[in-house]
Structure 1
Amino acid sequence: MPNPKLPELVLSGVETRTLQGWTRRRKTAQALALRSRIVLRCAEGGSNSEVAAELGIQRGTVAKWRSRFVADRLDGLLDEPRPGRPRTITDEQVEEVIAKTLESTPDNATHWSTRSMAAESGMTQTAVSRIWRAFGLQPHKQESWKLSKDPLFVDKVKDVVGLYLAPPERAVVLCVDEKSQIQALDRTAPTLPLLPGTPQRATHDYVRHGTSSLYAALDITTGKVIGRLHARHRAIEFKKFLAAIDKEVPADLAVHLVMDNASTHKTPAVRRWLLAHPRFVVHFTPTSSSWLNLVERWFSELTTKKLQRGAHTSTRALNRDIRAWIETWNDNPRPYVWTKTADHILDSIAHYCRRINASGH
């Protein structure tokens, strides 16, 4: 005989199939599967104590889920959303931190740190760090930039980028520049080798053994480099380098040179040489726009992979290493692929200028 004190529990056909499915599905949470078994057994009849004994659980657990099901049916068996810890930082506090970070500096420093901003705002360092990460703020970082004032900036960008994206037929495009004053440096003590758990170590001080200048021309199509080393970097050396290019590039090809406005590139002697060699066409990059010359990317790779941690006791040893590196590079050249159009570059610069003006700087 049913216990008159227990709430009546009668299942519909849909509820029965749903509960049976919850007990059988592999991906059902074990807590939900147990609650489903409790309700199914209770619907068959029996007291809470009997159901608890059969399922090996507490009587109070059976009573709880029987009542929840009677009140809310299937939804009553699902976990209610937990509110979690109440929010302790308001939108106004977040706005205050962002505004101070962008518009002010501490009295004793040039930029905010998480510690100084935490002391200023009354928050924890962790809270400040989370706010900065959420809004992409990095006060500890500073990058260099320079906007070209070249009156022909737009025309020169379109000219150079046009060469990169659509090189002319029957011609080679060479990015030309010199890396001057490369120092032959030797550490004052031997460099200690790399060990497990210990990086390679070198003394901070060094001895200078002279300098060398590298002239390089990067073929944008093949990635190969024509390089010449000289003790100095004057117009005389640059004209010798042009002659070396003329000798190495097949005579039936036009030569387009992308280079900057350095004074050594524009002397009367260089101009006369270019007039005497009409297959050479010069394309000047805008002033303060070395990023537009692809050979600068190659110079960066040379620096990081060979020069930065190298040790040389003479300029002869330095030059030998550089020549060997160029030969290795040319054995497996990797051209740098330019992807941005001139319009894209100019739009990006215009957008950045608008952002700076809008910020009040």
Structure 2
Amino acid sequence: MPSPKLVPLTLSDDERRTLEGWTRRRTTAQALALRARIVLACAEGGSNTEVARRLSLDRHTVTKWRARFVADRLDGLSDEPRPGRPRTISDEQVEQVVVTTLETKPANATHWSTRSLAAQTGMTQSAVSRIWRAFGLKPHQVDTFKISKDPLFVDKVRDVVGLYLDPPAKAVVLCVDEKSQIQALDRSAPVLPMLPGVPERQSFDYVRHGTTSLFAALEVATGQVISAVKRRHRHQEFLGFLRTIDKNVPAELDVHVVLDNLATHKTPAVKTWLLKHPRFHLHFTPTGSSWLNLVERFFAEITVKLLRRGVHRSVTALERDIRGWIQQWNTNPRPYVWTRTADQILDSLAAYCRRINDSGH
């Protein structure tokens, strides 16, 4: 059966302004913003299939909201009433909570709490909490960031990400770094084991028994880790670790090493060794961009699962546990898969920088 002829969809100037406002305003619910984009795209022309392809949506979704708008105009884009208790909070009150949370601060704090915002708006604390959950607002949380000032940032990002996404033939890609100053800590009182309804309990204070350093080379393709535990982390230890890598990688393969800009990685002794071993190629991450080195993800794994709550009465015991943990890891390694392209990273960073420049600070 041929598809029914599409009903023409034309917009008045007021409707177009309203729809465009819904797509731009950050307080608009995402579902409503998507419906507005669908209607605007339909108004530009084309079949439901073509509009769905342009917006990367299912055709039935486009068909539904086109028909709803043609029948009921802007009112048709709102969710239909559902059975249950009538709403006690209006759209204006929801908007007030969202706008106040996003665009203002209380006089005596850096961010709103449910109690302070409830007092400000005259609503209940539970109502504010429900609205925050619905819009994904968490004023008590904050993420930190650091923007690299490396003049070769773009080139280094493309270099490292290129290795992850398109590694060279007949070569192994290794992410290398040192986790230094790992402390052997013993608690001042015995650890009390977990019981039903009671978490494991450790004394707040501890006794230090020295430190060690972990050198690790994470193979990007397999997740296997070449490691060495050393008491110091000078260029001599780094050079010794390069020799360890050289022994563990088959001689017929080139070795591409991703690492940071630590001074011990660039000493004359290291450069001389590299000249004598031309199969080694170093790729430096931008300054202040350790997130580009996948071995940092491995370090986070061993920190959470071994080091953070570990109890060790000597450096020797700590080193034994580290070696045992890595040996166990290598019996069933898990590679970390890099998915973002260099262009996606750079576009995201550019958008972030524009937000910072436009913030008025």
**What is the TM-score when the length of structure 2 is the normalising length?**
0.73
**1:335 aligned counterpart, secondary structure:** coil
CA-atom RMSD in angstroms: 2.0
1:109 and 2:99 aligned: no
Shift of 1:329: 1.0
The equivalent of 1:4 in structure 2 is none
The equivalent of 2:312 in structure 1 is 312
Tell me how far apart the structure 2 counterparts of residues 122 and 272 of structure 1 sit (CA, whole Å): 71
The equivalent of 1:190 in structure 2 is 190
The equivalent of 1:259 in structure 2 is 259
**1:322 aligned counterpart, secondary structure:** helix
Tell me how far apart the structure 2 counterparts of residues 86 and 222 of structure 1 sit (CA, whole Å): 54
Higher Cα radius of gyration: 1
Tell me how far apart the structure 2 counterparts of residues 112 and 182 of structure 1 sit (CA, whole Å): 38
Shift of 1:86: 5.8
**2:229 aligned counterpart, secondary structure:** strand
Shift of 1:221: 1.2
The equivalent of 1:151 in structure 2 is 151
**1:301 aligned counterpart, secondary structure:** helix
> Per the alignment, do residues 249 and 84 of structure 1 end up closer, same or farther by CA in structure 2, a change over 3 Å counting?
closer
Letter aligned with residue 248 of structure 1: N
Shift of 1:358: 4.4
The equivalent of 1:135 in structure 2 is 135
Letter aligned with residue 320 of structure 1: R
Shift of 1:229: 1.1
Matches within 5 A, 1:199-214: 199-214=199-214
Identity between Structure 1 and Structure 2 (%): 67
1:125 and 2:129 aligned: no
Letter aligned with residue 224 of structure 2: K
The equivalent of 1:250 in structure 2 is 250
Gaps of 5+ in 1: 1-79
1:215 and 2:215 aligned: yes
Moved more, 348-357 or 327-336: 348-357
> Per the alignment, do residues 204 and 81 of structure 1 end up closer, same or farther by CA in structure 2, a change over 3 Å counting?
closer
> Per the alignment, do residues 200 and 272 of structure 1 end up closer, same or farther by CA in structure 2, a change over 3 Å counting?
same
Letter aligned with residue 138 of structure 1: K
Q: Deviations for 1:188-219, whole angstroms, at most 9, x for unmatched residues? A: 11111122222222112111100101110011
Shift of 1:260: 0.6
Q: Deviations for 1:240-298, whole angstroms, at most 9, x for unmatched residues? A: 11111112112221110000111111122212221221111000111111111110010
Shift of 1:350: 2.2
Tell me how far apart the structure 2 counterparts of residues 306 and 97 of structure 1 sit (CA, whole Å): 43
> Per the alignment, do residues 81 and 232 of structure 1 end up closer, same or farther by CA in structure 2, a change over 3 Å counting?
closer
The equivalent of 1:229 in structure 2 is 229
The equivalent of 2:284 in structure 1 is 284
**2:243 aligned counterpart, secondary structure:** helix
Shift of 1:339: 1.4
**What is the TM-score when the length of structure 1 is the normalising length?**
0.73
Shift of 1:312: 0.2
Tell me how far apart the structure 1 counterparts of residues 229 and 87 of structure 2 sit (CA, whole Å): 68
Q: Deviations for 1:226-246, whole angstroms, at most 9, x for unmatched residues? A: 111111111111111111111
> Per the alignment, do residues 251 and 123 of structure 1 end up closer, same or farther by CA in structure 2, a change over 3 Å counting?
same
Letter aligned with residue 353 of structure 1: C
Letter aligned with residue 218 of structure 1: L
